[in-house]
Structure 1
Amino acid sequence: MKSSRRVLFLIVFAQFLCTSLWFAGNGVMADLSAAFGLPAAAMGYLTSVVQLGFISGTLVFALLSFADRFSPSKVFMISALLGALVNVGIIWEGNQLGSLLALRFFTGFFLAGIYPVGMKIAADYFEKGLGVSLGYLVGALVLGTAFPHLLKELSTDYSWQAVILTTSGLASFGGVLLFLGVPDGPFRKAGQKVNIQDFQRVFANKEFRAAALGYFGHMWELYAFWAFVPFFIERFNNYWPDLGFPVSLLSCLVIGLGGLACIISGYLGKALSNKGVAKGALLLSGICCLLFPTVFYEAHPVAFLVFLLVWGMLVIADSPLFSSLVAKNAPAEIKGTALTLVNCIGFAISILSIELLNALSTDNSSIYFFLLLAIGPFLGFTFLQFQRK
C-alpha cells in the first residue's frame, strides 16, 4: 500500500511539474505581446499551435508505439527534458511570431510524451481503481495548466522570463524524478511491433468507441474554455469597469479548481460508474455553456465568478473517467498506443473550437458566440446515452 501510494504521488507530482509547460505562454501572453509586438489574435494562434504540436507528437508516438515498445518512464523523462529546452527558447530577444509559433509547436510535440505516457504508466501500476488514480493524474495536469497563471500573479517583482525559466526548470526536475523513482509497472505488457491495424481494432470495440466519442465531445469544450478564461475575465472587467478583477489570479483559480473536480469524479466513478458520472459532468458542463451569456450580462459580479468556478470544475471532471474507460477497453499490449491515439484525435478537435472562437472573438459587441462550446458536451453526452447495447 505504501509503495503504491509512493508511486502514485511521484507520477502525479511529475505530471504536475511537466505539464506546466502547456500554458506557460498563455500565462505571460500580455508580456509576450508587448515584448515582440504580437497581433491581437496571437493568443489563439499560440494556444492552437501547442495543440497542433501535441497532435503531431501523439500521432508519431502512436504510429511508432513508443509508450508500448520502450520504457514509458524513459520516454517521459526524455520528452520532459526536450520540452523544457524548447520552452526556454521563448525568452530569446530575437523572437518573432513565426519563431514563437515554432517553439510552442515543439513544446506541444514533446508534451505528447508526457501526458498520455503518464496515464500509461499509471495504468501499468493500477489495474484496479484506475479511475481514482487517473483522477489524481488529470488533476495534476489541471494544476500544471493553471500554474503559469499563478506564477505570473506572484511574479510582480520578477520578469516574465523568470516564469518561463521556472516552468522549464520544474519540468526538467519532474522528468528526472519520475524516471528515477518509477520503474516499469507490474501490469506493463510490452508491444512487439507497430501494427496499423491496431488502430482499427481498438475502435471496433463498442465500449472503447463510445468512450472515445464522448471524450471527443468533451475536448471540443475543454481547451477552448481554458484558453479563453483570461479573455472572459478581461471582458467582464470592461463590462464592469469599477471592479478590476485580477485576471491571472482568477484564471488560476478557475482552471485550478478543476484538479479537485478530477479527484472527486474519480472517487464518484468508483462508487457509482465511470460512464454515468462522465455523462452527468458532460450534461452539466453543456448547460453552463448555454447559461454563460445570460450570467455574463445579467448576474451579479460575485455570481458570475462563482459560475466560472463551477464551470471550471465541471468542464474537466469527466476527463479522467474517459481515460479510464479508454484504458480499460484497450488491449494491454497497445494500451499506451490507444491512449495516445485518442488524445491525438481529441486535441485535433480542440484546435477547431479554439480557432473558431478566436476568429469570432474579434467582435467586441457580445460574447454569445461562446454558445458554440455547447456543441461538444451535448454530442458527447448523446454518444454515451444512446450507445447501442
Structure 2
Amino acid sequence: MSVWFSASFVVPQLQQLWNLRSGQSSLLTIAVQLGFVLGALTFAATGLADAVPGRRLMCVGALGAAAVNLGLLWAPGFAVALLLRTLTGAFLAAVYPPALKEVSSWFQRGRGTALGVMIGALTLGSAAPQLVKAAGGLDWKLVIVATSVLTATGGLTTLLIRGSGPFPFPKSVFNLKSALRASRSRRVLLANVGYAGHMWELYAMWAWVGTFLAGLDGLAGSPNGAQNAAFAAFICIGVGAIGCLVGGRISDHFGRAQSALISLACSGGAAVVLAFIHSLPLPLVVAVCAFWGFWVIADSAQFSAMVTENADQRYVGSAVSFQLSIGYVITAATIYLVPVLVESASWTAALLVLALGPAVGIGALLAYLRPAAPSSEVDR
C-alpha cells in the first residue's frame, strides 16, 4: 500500500518541478481517493470482487499500482500526474477490499483483531510521509522507485498464498440485484453510515495534522520547527497502529459496534477538545493529538468486520467494496474542506466540523445495537 502516499512523500519537490499551486498539491492526494472509489465500484459492479480469488486480484492490483506509480518519473506535468494518481487509486481497489475478505476467511473467532492488525499496517504506511519529512526528505525519484518496488513485491508475495482460509466465503456468479440487497440490509446499511462518519474525520486528520502541529506556538518559526512538527505528526498518526490492535481486542471481547462506539466517542471528543486548547502548552496539545490519532483509526477494521458478518455471504466482496467506496468519496470532501475552513475561519471551526462525522457514526451505531422492529426486514 506504500504507493498510496508516494506523492505525499515528495510534494515540496514536485511543487518546484511542476510549479504546483497548493490546491493542485491537495488534488494529488484526492485523486488517489477518487480513483480508489472508481475502482471499488467497478469491482463491485462487475462481480470481480466475488468471482476472482482475492490473492489474484491483489497481485494484479499491486503490480498495476506499482507500474503507474513508476510512471510519475516520466510525467511532464500536473495533468499527467493527476491521471497517474487516479489510476494508482483504482488499482489499489484490487488490493485493499480483497485483503479484508481474504484475512476474514482465516478467522471466525478473533476476526476483529486480525483485521485490526491489517489496518494497523495501513496506518503505519500512512504515517511514513511524515517520517520522511522529519528526516529531511529524499530525492523524489528514489522515493517513487522504492515505493513501486515495495508494492510490486507485496503483490508477488500474495502468490505464495495457496487458497483461502478454512472459513471461505461461498463462491458465486455475480448478481447485481443480490449484491445491492446485501448492502441495503438494515445492519449493513447502519454499518455503512457509521463508516461514513468515521471516514469524514480520518483522512482529513491524517492529511492535515502535520500542518496543524507546524502552526502551534513552540514549533512555528523555530529553527527546526518543520522537522519537529513532522516527527510529532508521524507519532500522532503512527500510534494508530496500536489503536487498531486495541480496537480489535475490544471488538472480539465486547462486540464490533461497541468497539466502534468507543473509538468514535474518543476520536470525536479529542477533535472537540483540540478545537479549544490549541493555544495551550505544546506538550499538552501534542498529547491530545496522539490520543486522537490512536482512536481515529481504531474502529476502521470493525466496520468492515460488521459487513463481512452481516452481508449475504455470497456477496461479501462486493459489499465491502461498496462500503469502502462510500467512505473514500467522503474523504475527498474533507481533505479539501479543512484548509478552506482554516483559511476562511480558524482551526477551531475546522476541528468542530470534523467532529460531526463521529457524531453521525455514533447515532448509526446506537441504532445498529437496537433490535430491529418485528415488521422490519432483517438480514438473511
1:105 to 86, 107, 110: 86
CA drift of 1:365 comes to 5.8
Letter of the aligned partner of 2:181 in structure 1?
A: R
Q: How do residues 1-389 of structure 1 correspond to structure 2 at under 5 angstroms?
A: 19-92=1-74, 94-154=75-135, 156=137, 158-236=138-216, 240-242=220-222, 244-246=225-227, 247-297=229-279, 299-363=280-344, 366-387=347-368, 388-389=370-371
CA drift of 1:245 comes to 4.8
| Aligned residue-pair number | 368
CA drift of 1:58 comes to 0.2
CA–CA separation in structure 2 for the residues paired with 1:36 and 1:365: 30
Contact 2:35 2:86 in 1 (8 A): yes
Letter of the aligned partner of 2:207 in structure 1?
A: A
CA drift of 1:372 comes to 0.8
Q: Which deviates more from structure 2 when the two are superposed, residues 190-199 or residues 214-223? A: 190-199
Contact 2:105 2:168 in 1 (8 A): yes
Q: Which deviates more from structure 2 when the two are superposed, residues 142-151 or residues 285-294? A: 142-151
* Deviation sequence 1:9-59 (CA, Å, 0-9, x none): xxxxxxxxxx11111111221121122110012232112111100000000
CA RMSD of aligned residues (A): 2.0
The secondary structure found in structure 1 opposite 2:84 is helix
> Gaps spanning 5+ residues in structure 1: where?
1-18
Contact 2:276 2:348 in 1 (8 A): no
The alpha-carbon distance between structure 1 residues 138 and 307, as it changes in their structure 2 partners (threshold 3 A), is same
CA–CA separation in structure 2 for the residues paired with 1:163 and 1:364: 35
Give aligned-pair identity as a percent: 32
* Deviation sequence 1:243-269 (CA, Å, 0-9, x none): 615243333222111111001110111
The alpha-carbon distance between structure 1 residues 70 and 232, as it changes in their structure 2 partners (threshold 3 A), is same
> Gaps spanning 5+ residues in structure 2: where?
372-380
Contact 1:330 1:338 in 2 (8 A): yes
CA–CA separation in structure 2 for the residues paired with 1:217 and 1:185: 31
CA–CA separation in structure 1 for the residues paired with 2:218 and 2:348: 13
CA drift of 1:152 comes to 4.6
CA drift of 1:115 comes to 1.0
TM-score, with length taken from structure 1: 0.89
Contact 1:151 1:163 in 2 (8 A): no
Contact 2:183 2:322 in 1 (8 A): no
CA–CA separation in structure 1 for the residues paired with 2:235 and 2:146: 20
Q: What's 2:374 paired with? A: none
Letter of the aligned partner of 1:249 in structure 2?
A: F
Letter of the aligned partner of 2:258 in structure 1?
A: G
CA–CA separation in structure 2 for the residues paired with 1:341 and 1:36: 35
The secondary structure found in structure 2 opposite 1:41 is helix
